[in-house]
A and B are shown apart, each in its own frame.
Chain A
């Protein structure tokens, strides 16, 4: 306990020393803040030059995040299942009728498709066509990450230990959902096809036009394509499947369906739900990059005899 008399005598000088200390601390704080901000800017610029820098860190934290995600998913998954089963219970009769009609139509189509597939296989064996095979690497559960409005990513609960590598395409039940970007040991991070950075080479099933399904950051995709001359126009309901161009995504995987063909560029809705991808499979990149081996260039050779039957009499 200080007696009031000396305290009042001492106070002015002490206050000034405190004030000096405070202003020194404030100055120090401002300096530290400035240094921190400069360091953060530098960190960002390093990534501008070398984007791989951040990838390892992202992969490592995906490992930390995956168990927490698995736990949080449980109640929501259970609630969704319960909701689904209740909804299914109420609509069972109408659903049954609609499905029967659909099944009858589908059977006729399936018979036709089978015949076409057999014919295609015969033709392909005639010309000796070699098709690249698709290979499944791992199966896991993906859950979307909405921490920033600027990007659409998801965490998958399989990682490098399961053979997952960056670039690999990720496919859900509905269709393509995106590609792996960073891998951790037991979890990885993927870029969803709705991310503004995502471009997927696609083809329109009905017309055969090719283009890119570009993410917008929203729930829809932009279909970027060259306008093709002719009477054919894009219609709502046209399906987009991967074209296999670029060699990353295997061809024929459903991607999206055109919902607004009048807009420029036309808008498409992804067939898989990027907001919650759910169970997914990770495939190997469709075409591995070619290993270049030195070989002499091909010599010009005569046409095959089957291609020009008229040339046969000239031979002798």
Chain B
């Protein structure tokens, strides 16, 4: 609370705060559009962006924001409501825990770490579907995880660019 009031809100502040969440919402919308893709599999762009923002701007991507955008993706994509919400919140927590232990960033380390989270998230998805009484084959989910991992470098580059242009205006 006091942290919010302490800021004397410069003009671009609201936009700056909303940018990470809005990019994830945009990614969720893109995921639901009929695009021609290899193997008919869309990389899980929203999850990828949540992981990236949680690492770049931890304060602008807290667990509850990740949960909110995940909920939106669930509704848009017709998934069990709460599934992506849960996964995104867990991903944010995982990134937090890792950031607290590991110092420094490099593309390879970040990429490997994101891949690890994505694969784990898709395994959890698989189990959650089973919990919801749907037996889902693992192979398509793993293909999607692989596609998501492949999409990491361009998505990370894009997020870094957005970060430079909009978010890095003030220090947080």
Contacts and interface: CB of A to CB of B under 8 A. Distances in A.
Nearest to B129: A150
A69 B75 contact: no
B35 A72 contact: yes
Residue of B62, B89, B143 with most chain A CB atoms under a 10 A cut-off: B89
Interface centre among B28, B78, B141 (most CB of A within 10 A): B78
A155 B135 CA distance: 22
Contact of B31 (A147, A219, A275): A147
Interface of B: 2-3, 28-29, 31-37, 40-42, 44, 62-64, 67, 70, 73-83, 85-86, 89-90, 92-93, 96, 122, 125-126, 128-129, 131-137, 139-145
Contact of B40 (A54, A73, A275): A275
A29 B77 contact: no
A32 to B, nearest CB: 6
B125 A37 contact: no
Interface stretch (A38-46, A102-110, A170-178, A235-243): A38-46
Contacts of A153: 77-78
Given A69-B34, A218-B140, A44 B62 contact: no
Dominant secondary structure of chain A at its interface with chain B: helix
A151 interface: yes
B135 A196 contact: yes
Interface string A146-161: 1111110101000000
Interface residues on A, range: 35 or more
A113 interface: no
A147 B32 contact: yes
A48 B132 contact: yes
Given A43-B81, A65-B32, A147 B76 contact: yes
Given A44-B132, A69-B33, A150-B140, A60 B75 contact: yes
Contacts of B141: 148-150
A57 B85 contact: no
A48 B131 contact: yes
Interface in A209-231: 216-219
Given A68-B33, A275-B40, A148 B77 contact: yes
A269 interface: no
Contacts of A33: 62-64, 89, 92-93, 96
A36 B67 contact: yes
